[in-house]
Amino acid sequence: PVEVPENPPSFAEFGELNRMIHACRHCPLWEHATAAVPGEGPETARIMIVGEQPGDREDLEGRPFAGPAGKLLDRALEEAGLDRSGIYVTNAVKHFKWTPRGKLRLHQKPDAGEIDACKPWLLAELSHIAPSVVILLGATAARSLLGPGVQVTKQRGLVAAPQLAERVILTVHPSYLLRVDELRKEVEYRQFVADLKLAQDD
């Protein structure tokens, strides 16, 4: 295994950070991905959103949350009164992890070693943006920044993590909302929008 630095790398601007992310070999996921997908959004963002990892579409387009989960996130953000163009959106893991199934590339969950290998990049983004609000979408983002043992559905909402930001919101991943059974969909979606509303300026 490649040595992972303990501290986030220093860099002058995002272009430089993104070049380092593209060249990352901390774990083997780069080998089967098209390219790394770094975060996207203004450096002055008040809110930072952390997802899991790029999916099939994100891997091809090179932008986070560009596929179906991203469409759902965009809609929920709008309903929560938040404008995505002002938000910095990124992932805990920067390369798409997948396994072939016929012609499809099936998403696989990143493991703890891969999450930890990618953490310096996430911390670098976090310290550069220094957002007031961090929104963690799902278990992988929670594992990366809050540590192991967090249960998203039990601890969702505001969580105390002053080392990350003034306000930290933990909620489900939008791809969960795409999978959940029809009967629960609306209720789960409403709860997701309510969690996102906790990021509103007061």
- Total Cβ atoms within 10 A of residue 68: 14
Q: How far is the CB of 37 from ligand URA (least distance, A)?
A: 6
Task: Rank residues 144 and 175 by Cβ distance to ligand URA and give the closer one.
Answer: 175
- Applying the rule CB under 6 A, the residues between 163 and 202 that interact with ligand URA are 175
Binds ligand URA (CB under 6 A): choice among 38, 41, 70, 110: 70
41 forms part of the interface with ligand URA (CB under 6 A): no
Amino acid present at 125: E
Relative to beta strand 47-51, strand 88-91 is parallel
64 forms part of the interface with ligand URA (CB under 6 A): yes
Q: How far is the CB of 138 from ligand URA (least distance, A)?
A: 7
52 forms part of the interface with ligand URA (CB under 6 A): yes
Beta bridge partner(s), residue 106 = 99
Query: Cα-flanking dihedrals φ and ψ of residue 35, to 5°?
Result: -165, 165
Q: How far apart are CA 180 and CA 80, in angstroms?
A: 21
Q: How far apart are CA 78 and CA 96, in angstroms?
A: 26
110 forms part of the interface with ligand URA (CB under 6 A): no
> Please, are residues 143 and 150 in contact by the beta-carbon 8 Å criterion?
yes
Binds ligand URA (CB under 6 A): choice among 18, 91, 144, 171: 91
Q: How far apart are CA 81 and CA 85, in angstroms?
A: 12
Q: How far apart are CA 181 and CA 28, in angstroms?
A: 34
Task: Rank residues 10 and 88 by Cβ distance to ligand URA and give the closer one.
Answer: 88
Task: Rank residues 50 and 183 by Cβ distance to ligand URA and give the closer one.
Answer: 50
Task: Rank residues 69 and 82 by Cβ distance to ligand URA and give the closer one.
Answer: 69
Q: Which chain residues interact with ligand URA by CB under 6 A?
A: 51-55, 58, 64-65, 67, 69-70, 91, 175
